[in-house]
Each structure stands twice: as structure tokens, then as C-alpha cells.
Amino acid sequence: MGLGRTVVAASSVVVVAGLLLVQLDVAERLASSRELQLSRVAGLVESLASQQWEALAVGREDQQALADFRRTWAQANSQLAQFRVLAPTDSRLSGVVLWFESFVSDLDQELTFIKSGSMADAADFERSSVQPVLTGLTATLTAAEAAYHADAQRAATDKAIESVLTVVISTGLLVLLVWMARRSQLRVERRFRSLVQHSTDVFSIVSASGEILYESPAVESAFGFRPVDRVGTNAFAGVHPDDLPSGRWVAAFGKNLIRDPAIGGIAVNYRDITEQRDLEEQLRRQAFEDPLTGLANRALLRDRLEHAVERSRRSSGGTGVVMFFLDLDDFKNVNDSLGHAAGDALLSLVAQRIRGSVRGVDTVARLGGDEFAVLAEDVGDAGPEELGHRLLEALAPPFVVSGEEIFVRASVGYAISAAGDDGDVLLRNADLAMYQAKAERKGGMRRYDATLHHSFVARLALDRDLRRALDHHEFVVQYQPIVALDSRRIVGLEALVRWVHPVHGWLPPDRFIPAAEESGLIIELGRWVLAEACRQMAAWVDAGVSPEISVSVNVSVRQLQDAGFPDDVATALHESGLDGRRLTLEVTESVLVDDSEVIIARLAVIRALGVRIAIDDFGTGFSSLGYLSRFPVDVLKIDRRFVAGMNTNSADLAIIQAAIGLAESLGLKTVAEGIEEDGQTTSLQDLGCDLGQGFLFARPGEPSAMAAMLDHAAKPSTKKVARATRKAAVRGGQPAPRGVS
């Protein structure tokens, strides 16, 4: 039982004992009161009896005696009235009341006899009635008085006993309470002592003079000092550095308890917070440092950039704040060829070189991936350009990773803060400059100017319009014939996508295809062009077009890199019902050297559907006989720039001759693009070129315009074909120049 419950129980016992004492006291007082009342009644009865005899002796002549008798009788009658009220609750008084009433009544009758002078009747009544009643009343009063006296004595005895018991119980309870309070205090003291003894914090009590009065055992586990060696020494005295644990952080808290008799000194609580400080430092590094390179991260760079911009605003001189953005060119090739561990090692080495090429006050940051940034202040007028070249020169020597030499190039863009620029604007401008440098020439550097921002805004608008165009079906497909040079008959059609912009009108592919490539929308757009070309070709087949005619569709590198592209081709053929042999997919030379194994596998799956593969714009890339022999290719398309200069530039003619010879050695067909003159046709035929396309034969036209040309596909007359071409061009509207779909 707890101390609180014990106090409640003890209080209840004391209260009950007190109530019992009160009850006994009330009983004693009541019995004594009754005894006193009965004693008074006995006195009245004795007076009445005495006055009765006197009245009988003197008769009615003694009015004073009669008056005294009458007054005493009235008092007795009044007492009788009181007894009548108490009699229903007290059985002893009931008998007294009955005898008392009879006695008072008889006295009243006797008094009546005396007042009437009938003394003889009064004497007879006295003997026959009053005396027996008086005897009974006296006996009843005596018995009742004795009983009440006994009750009073018994109640007094019980009260005395109860008082002794109450004192004994109260004393016992008080002792119990004191014992329990002391036990509780001892338990608290033991608990406190246990907490102090086993706490990892060190508790010390130091006197006003600095003497250690007490120190908890935790001082040994925390700092290597034994408490017994510490007590009695001066806490403020210097400790030799050799005796102190190295590199430790301590947090201490003290309170003056000298006036507290239980303490009598200054209470000091201190603990080792070295691990906490290490964790805080680790969290700080995670929040503001790049974990791989140890450079500042984007958050720390932004913080320092905002402060630098603010300082620049308050300063009247200097070149302001310069922000450099560096992006490693073709870094993905390192991860793909050597693995991500080698890529991480290379990034760390790049970070070291960048940090070594700038001043100590400059901030070097890694923004993620292969992107780095340098924040510089007060570099002078020629400083930004010089610092940019220094960064590029630092990365020029090869890096050695896992025993391999790796050459790294970086595209650098930088921006100089202007009035009103904040940190976000400066970061954005440097980023735009870097992307422009990468677009112009990898490994180059570009400074930001306002035109870059305008170009960026226009690019955002173009991306937005491209997404809307796909949803609103603003793209159309035109077709340009491919003819046999010897007979001028149509043997195929190249599908070319055009954009009917609601504001700018007809847009050629070179206005939107690069943006679609970069944004990834080319996959969805190319899927639609492929499906539309297959559907239209199937419709021409159903209309009876020549069996040798097929449709060619340009395919983006991004499409070939998509694992789902073979399924897109199969779906387009299946839904249109077109025979795969009537479809040719045109890809650029770049696919021959990028991800070749993956591309070869996908092209093989597509070729298994009967689809032919053509290399478009051949001669502009890095193709070789070795590359071509590995790829499943059926057709080579010679780029228009070589055809345009073949009769005036011997180099162009040599390239065409080599391409045709390469195609013949591999058993491939050749198609010359961009033929606009009859002389070009003759020269190409002399070189052995099979097929051609260009404005000489037809411009790109709508599907409805191509229907007339297909009607003449079997007629070899050049004039008829040219006439049909002109009519088709008129019906098809003003077409845009040829581009990549």
C-alpha cells in the first residue's frame, strides 16, 4: 500500500473513532440529563406529598398553603407535559408518565375536595388512591433514575476506553505514517543514487572554493578518471594535456546549491558530446557537401551565390559575380564501357583538377551526375575568360582510371551577374550558356548573352506547341517519289512529315524534329508517322498500285534506342494489313557506331518481318565497310550535298563513286537524293546508281496528289511524268523542302 493510501486509511480510522467518541459522549450526556430530570421530578413529587399533607391539615383556611400546593402542582404538570413528548421514544419514561399522570390527576381531585371543604372525602381519597399511586410513582422514579444513572456510568466507561483506544490507534497510525514516509524517502534516495551511479552523464558537487566533494562513477567510463582520485582535488586546477582524452567535446551545466543542506555545493552535470558533434558534422556535410567528391553541393552553392550577389550589389567596383557551368562530354561512354565505379573515380579526379585550377576563395561544386560549377568573385575584366580556359586546360591531360587512360572534354558556359540578377537567374544563365557551348562544339566555352534566353524561351514555346500538335492532329504526311533512273518509273515513295502550325503555317522537319528528338516526343511522333504511312500504302495497294512500289519512313536514333520500337513496326504492319516487303525504314549513319550491338539486334528483328533497311544521308558520317558488313542493310541513300556538287567538285564525285562501289560490293541498292538536273541523272547512271529522288522528278505532295502520279507509274515517258509531277505539286499546295521525318 502506498503512502497516500495509508494516509487515507489512517484518516478514516481516526474519523470513525472520533465519531464513536462523540456518540458515546452524547449517550452519557443524555443519560445524565434524564437522571437529573427524574431527580427533579422526585423532588416535585416529594414536595407535592408534603404540601398535600399540610393542605389536609390546615384545610382551605390557609390560602398560602393552598397557593404553594397549587404552584407545585402546576410545576409537576409542566414536567409531565415534557415527559409526554419524550415518552414515545423512551420506554422508561412511558411508565413514569403513566404513574405521574395518575398522581397529578389524583392530587387535582384531592385539591378539589379540599377547596370545597370536604376534608373527610379528601382524607379518604388520600388513603385509597393518592397513597398507592404515590408509592408506585416513587418506585418507578427510583428504578428509572437508577437505570439512567447506570447508563451514564456505562457510557462514561465506554468513552474512557474508546478515548484510550483512539489515542493508541492514532499514535500507531502516526508511527506507521512516519515509518512509511521515511521508507518512501529512502526509496527515492536509493533511486536517485542508482540513477546517478549508472548515468552516462557525470554528476559532481564542487565547493565554493572549487574542491570536488563528490563525483559519479561515470567520470571513469567517460573520461578515464577514477572518482576516488578526483574527490578532494580542485576542479578548476589545470590538468596536464597528456592526461586528457584527445579531441573530445564536453557540455557542462551547473547550479549553485550551496544553501541546500542536502547538497552544500555547486551541482555540476557534464557529458561527453563528441559523438553528437561528429554526427552534427556528418549531417552538415551531407547537407552541404557532395559525398563522392567532397565538393560543395547545390544547396551550399546556392547559399554562397546569394551572399556573393548581395555583396556585389553593395560594391561599386569589380566585375561582379561569375558563375561557370561545366558538363563532361560523352561521360556516359565511361560508365557503359568501364563501369560506374570507374565513372565515380573519374569524377573524383575531375573534381580535384577543377579545384586545383581555381583560387582558394572560389567555390567549386558538383551539381549532380557529370555537372560541375565554379563560383568566382572579383576576377577582373579578363578574368572570366581566362578562368574558363584554365578550367578547360586542367581537364586536357588524360586521366588514369583502373590502368586506363581516359581523355575528358567539358563544355563550359559562364555568366556574369548584372544589375537586378539574383542567384537563380545567374545559375540559369550559366546553364543556358553551357548547353549552347555543347550544341556549337563539344569541349568549347560560351559566355551568356540575352539572345540565349530568348532562344530558350522560344524553345519552351516550341516544346509546348509540339505537345499540343500531337493532341490536336496538326501533323500531316507528304510523299516524294523514288524513281528508277533508267526508266523514270516510280518504284517507291518516301514519307515526309510536315507540321501545319495554327500560327506559323507549314513548317518543315528541320524546324521541329531536333526539338522533338531532345524532348523525347520523337518516339510518339515517329510512331504516328509510321502507322500513317503504312495505312496509306495499304490503301494504295488496295487501289491496284504496282507491286514493286514501297514506302520509306525515316526513323530517329531515339526511336531505335527505344526497346519497344520493333513492336511499333509490327503493330503498324498488322493494323494496316501492309506486307512488310512494301516498307523501308531509313536510318542515319550514326546508328552504325552508337550502341551497335543493341541496334543490330533490333534491326534484325524488324528485318525478319520483311522490312528493308536503308542508310540515309550516306557519306556524312563515319561509315566503313566493316560497319556496313555487320548491319542488316539493304539500301544506301547518297546525301544530297554530294549530288549537288558532283559535276563541279571532284571530291564529291569521288565520294559518290566510292559509296556506289561499296554498295555493289555488299549487294546493296543505291538511291541518290536531291537530284535537280538532268546532267546529275546521267552522271549517276554512268556511275551505276540504280535509283534517285529529287525535285527533278517530283516535289513532296499530299496523298491525294500522289494518286495521279501513281497512275502514271507504268508509263516511262519523262515528259508525262514531269507533267503529272507539276499537276500534283499544284494540287498539293506549296510544299516545304525535304527533311527528316
Query: What is the 3-state secondary structure of 249-318?
Result: CEEEEEEEECCCCCCCEEEEEEEECHHHHHHHHHHHHHHHECCCCCCECHHHHHHHHHHHHHHHHHCCCC
Residues 207-225: what's their mean pLDDT?
80
Least confident of 378-382, 445-449, 581-585: 378-382
Give dist(CA 739, CA 719) in Å, integer: 27
- Mean model confidence pLDDT for the chain: 80
Please check whether residue 372 is in contact with residue 318, taking contact to mean a CB–CB distance below 8 angstroms: no
Torsion 307-309-312-313 (CA) sign: negative
User: For residue range 99-116, what is the model confidence (pLDDT) as tens digits?
Assistant: 777 877 877 777 787 777
The pLDDT confidence band at residue 171, using thresholds 50, 70 and 90, is confident
Place of cell 518516301: 494
Residues 73-92: what's their mean pLDDT?
67
pLDDT at 732: 40
Residue 741 in this model has a pLDDT that exceeds 60: no
Closest CA to 374 of 423, 417, 323, 410: 323
Taking CA atoms, 113 is separated from 58, 60, 127, in Å, by 13, 10, 14
Taking phi over 0 as left and psi of -120 to 50 as alpha, with beta for the rest, 631 belongs to beta
pLDDT at 735: 36
pLDDT at 592: 65
Residue 355 in this model has a pLDDT that exceeds 90: yes
Please state whether the predicted TM-score (pTM) of the whole model is above 0.85: no
Least confident of 539-548, 571-580, 691-700: 539-548
Please check whether residue 107 is in contact with residue 130, taking contact to mean a CB–CB distance below 8 angstroms: yes
Phi–psi pair at 602, nearest 5 degrees: -70, -40
How many Cα neighbours within 13 Å face the side chain of 562? 19
The pLDDT confidence band at residue 485, using thresholds 50, 70 and 90, is very high
Element (H, E) at 664: helix 650-666
Residue 229 in this model has a pLDDT that exceeds 70: yes
Question: How distant is the alpha carbon of residue 191 from its chain centre?
Answer: 41
Other CB atoms within 10 Å distance of the CB of residue 156: 16
Other CB atoms within 10 Å distance of the CB of residue 48: 22
Give the three-class secondary structure for 507.
Answer: strand
Distance from the first to the final alpha carbon of the chain: 92
Strands 612-618 and 635-638: parallel
Spell 495-505 as b/e; 16+ CB within 10 A means b: bbbbbebeeee
Please check whether residue 569 is in contact with residue 611, taking contact to mean a CB–CB distance below 8 angstroms: yes
Residue, of 736 and 551, whose pLDDT is higher = 551
Residue 407 in this model has a pLDDT that exceeds 80: yes
Least confident of 122-131, 322-331, 471-480: 122-131
Strands 202-206 and 265-272: antiparallel
Q: Work out the percent of the chain whose per-residue pLDDT is above 90.
A: 26
Measure the CA dihedral 273/277/279/282, to 10°: -160
Strands 583-588 and 404-406: unpaired
Q: Which domains does the chain have, with CATH numbers?
A: 3-176 (1.20.120), 202-236+247-272 (no CATH), 286-448 (3.30.70.270), 482-493+510-692 (3.20.20.450)
In whole angstroms, how large is the CA radius of gyration of the chain? 62
Residues 263-274: what's their mean pLDDT?
79
Closest CA to 47 of 68, 78, 61, 77: 68
pLDDT at 323: 92
Please check whether residue 395 is in contact with residue 408, taking contact to mean a CB–CB distance below 8 angstroms: yes
- Measure the CA angle with vertex 443, ends 441 and 446; round to 5°: 70
The pLDDT confidence band at residue 717, using thresholds 50, 70 and 90, is very low
Give dist(CA 436, CA 440) in Å, integer: 6
Closest CA to 578 of 613, 531, 614: 531
Taking CA atoms, 411 is separated from 2, 344, 434, in Å, by 80, 19, 6
pLDDT at 722: 42
Place of cell 381531585: 109
Place of cell 527505344: 562
Give dist(CA 540, CA 492) in Å, integer: 12
pLDDT at 64: 67
Least confident of 127-131, 281-285, 650-654: 281-285
Amino acid identity of 590?
Answer: S
Phi–psi pair at 547, nearest 5 degrees: -65, -25
Q: Work out the percent of the chain whose per-residue pLDDT is above 70.
A: 81
Residue, of 618 and 578, whose pLDDT is higher = 578
Residue, of 534 and 659, whose pLDDT is higher = 534
Residues 120-140: what's their mean pLDDT?
80
At how many degrees (to 10) do helices 131-198 and 3-58 cross? Answer: 170
Which three cell numbers, joined as nine digits, stand for 469?
500538335
The pLDDT confidence band at residue 451, using thresholds 50, 70 and 90, is confident
Other CB atoms within 10 Å distance of the CB of residue 655: 20
Taking CA atoms, 457 is separated from 195, 307, 546, in Å, by 68, 28, 48
Residue 262 in this model has a pLDDT that exceeds 80: no
Residue 680 exposed, middle or buried by CB count within 10 Å (0-12, 13-18, 19+): buried
Please check whether residue 17 is in contact with residue 162, taking contact to mean a CB–CB distance below 8 angstroms: yes
User: For residue range 7-65, what is the model confidence (pLDDT) as tens digits?
Assistant: 676 677 777 767 776 777 777 777 677 667 777 777 777 776 676 666 655 555 556 66
Across 105-109, 544-548, 594-598, 718-722, which has the greatest mean pLDDT? 544-548
Across 11-20, 123-132, 681-690, which has the greatest mean pLDDT? 681-690
What residues form DSSP beta bridges with 554? 586
Phi–psi pair at 564, nearest 5 degrees: -90, 5
Q: In what order do the strands lie in the sheet with 202-206?
A: 212-215, 202-206, 265-272, 250-257
pLDDT at 737: 33
The pLDDT confidence band at residue 725, using thresholds 50, 70 and 90, is very low
pLDDT at 245: 52
Amino acid identity of 573?
Answer: L
Give the three-class secondary structure for 373.
Answer: strand
What residues form DSSP beta bridges with 204? 215, 268
Residue 70 in this model has a pLDDT that exceeds 80: no
Measure the CA dihedral 654/659/664/670, to 10°: -120
Give dist(CA 554, CA 643) in Å, integer: 20
The pLDDT confidence band at residue 566, using thresholds 50, 70 and 90, is very high
